């Protein structure tokens, strides 16, 4: 049997903004006659808890954004396997607990970009695991307005991978946790600004 190359341009986007989730989970599987397999799993969870519990208006803005993009996968050979498991967990808890307005602005943003993967050979196993957890816990517990600004922003860029030969394992694990805990437990306004910004560049 003569192997032939397969080329997979692939772009997958998982997006959730302002309490809504378009896609919570997705799976992409491709196999060819030469027993090459590409499997992409995305699993995203979003929780937004941005309430006004007493007198006052609720003008809170809580936004979650999750984007994953693959540039492409090129396989030339037999019995190769490429697997990517991407899990994103985003939590917003930005309440106003007593008298006062809830003007909180809370956002989580996660962007994953995977450069091209090129495999030439047989019996190679490539596995990418990307796990992200982002949490904003930014309440105003008592009287006073909740004017807090809490932001988590993560950009992860995985450089291109070119693998040739036979029987090569390649595992890449990326685990990131971002958390803002910016409560006000007095009768004053919560005017805190809490920001986590991170740009990761990973090379397999």
Residue pair 144/186 in contact (Cβ under 8 Å)? The answer is yes
Mean pLDDT of all residues in 24-32: 51
Quick one: 22 exposed, middle or buried, by C-beta within 10 A (0-12, 13-18, 19+)? exposed
Residue pair 172/120 in contact (Cβ under 8 Å)? The answer is no
Phi, psi (deg, nearest 5) at residue 94: -135, 75
Q: How far apart (Å, rounded) are the C-alpha atoms in residues 110 and 117? A: 21
| Strand-pair partners of 158 | 114, 202
Helix (H, G, I), strand (E, B) or coil at 194: strand
Least confident interval from 27-36, 40-49, 107-116, 143-152: 27-36
Q: What pLDDT is recorded for position 2?
A: 36
Mean pLDDT of all residues in 35-47: 89
Beta-carbon neighbour count of residue 67 at 10 Å? 17
Q: What pLDDT is recorded for position 19?
A: 28
Q: What is the pLDDT of residues 162-172, one digit of tens each?
A: 999 999 999 99
Q: What pLDDT is recorded for position 70?
A: 85
Question: Is the pLDDT assigned to residue 6 strictly greater than 50?
Answer: no
Question: Is the pLDDT assigned to residue 100 strictly greater than 80?
Answer: yes
Evaluated on CA atoms 18, 20, 24, 29, the torsion sign reads negative
Q: How many residues in total does the chain contain?
A: 204
pTM, 2 dp: 0.84
């Amino acid at each position: 049997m003569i192997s032939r190359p397969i080329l997979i341009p692939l772009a997958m986007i998982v997006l959730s903004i302002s309490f809504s989730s378009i896609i919570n989970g997705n799976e992409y599987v491709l196999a060819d006659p030469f027993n090459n397999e590409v499997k992409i799993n995305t699993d995203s969870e979003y929780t937004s808890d941005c309430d006004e519990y007493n007198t006052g208006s609720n003008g809170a803005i809580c936004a979650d954004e999750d984007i994953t993009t693959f540039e492409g996968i090129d396989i030339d050979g037999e019995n190769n396997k490429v697997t990517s498991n991407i899990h994103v967990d985003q939590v917003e808890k930005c309440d106003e607990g007593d008298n006062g307005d809830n003007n909180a602005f809370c956002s989580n943003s996660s962007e994953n970009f995977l450069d091209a993967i090129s495999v030439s050979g047989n019996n190679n196993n490539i596995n990418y695991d990307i796990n992200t957890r982002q949490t904003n816990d930014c309440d105003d517990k008592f009287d006073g307005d909740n004017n807090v600004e809490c932001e988590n922003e993560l950009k992860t860029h995985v450089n291109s991978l070119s693998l040739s030969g036979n029987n090569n394992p390649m595992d890449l694990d990326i685990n990131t946790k971002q958390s803002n805990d910016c409560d006000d437990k007095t009768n004053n306004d919560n005017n805190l600004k809490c920001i986590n910004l991170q740009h990761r560049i990973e090379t397999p």
